[in-house]
Amino acid sequence: MRPCGGIHVMYKDRSVARLGMCNYSGALEDAKEASTLSPQYIEAYLCQGDALMEMEQFDEAEKCYSVSLQIDPSIRRSRSFKDRVERLQQKLGAADIS
């Protein structure tokens, strides 16, 4: 059985809330559940990337952002996606310097 509409959104919303509370592993877990329930749900992959960024798992965050871009290339133009990519590049650059 497939879940009826909305369950994946609730997991994504809880992921965002957990991220705001600095519960990064919980945020990642919820975002992964959202993407499992709805594999084409871009927001789930963005949330996974955000949690992974906070956990300093930059390569994995980049993969999640790439998946969201593969699902919908038009997000490349969104300000929030551009901000995420810029932040990731800064973190990767800082990690290379260390």
Note the pLDDT tens digit of each residue in 12-40.
999 999 999 999 999 999 999 999 999 99
Which of the four pLDDT bands, split at 50, 70 and 90, describes residue 90? very high
In this prediction the pTM is: 0.88
Which of the four pLDDT bands, split at 50, 70 and 90, describes residue 1? very low
Neighbours of 1 (CB within 10 A): 3
Rg of the chain in Å (alpha carbons): 13
Q: Does the pLDDT at position 42 exceed 80? A: yes
CA–CA dist 32, 19 (Å, integer) = 13
The number of C-alpha atoms within 13 Å of 66 and in the hemisphere containing its C-beta is 6
For residue 2, the model assigns a pLDDT of: 52
What is the chain's mean pLDDT, rounded?
Answer: 92
Is 1.10.1040.10 the CATH classification of the domain at 7-97? no
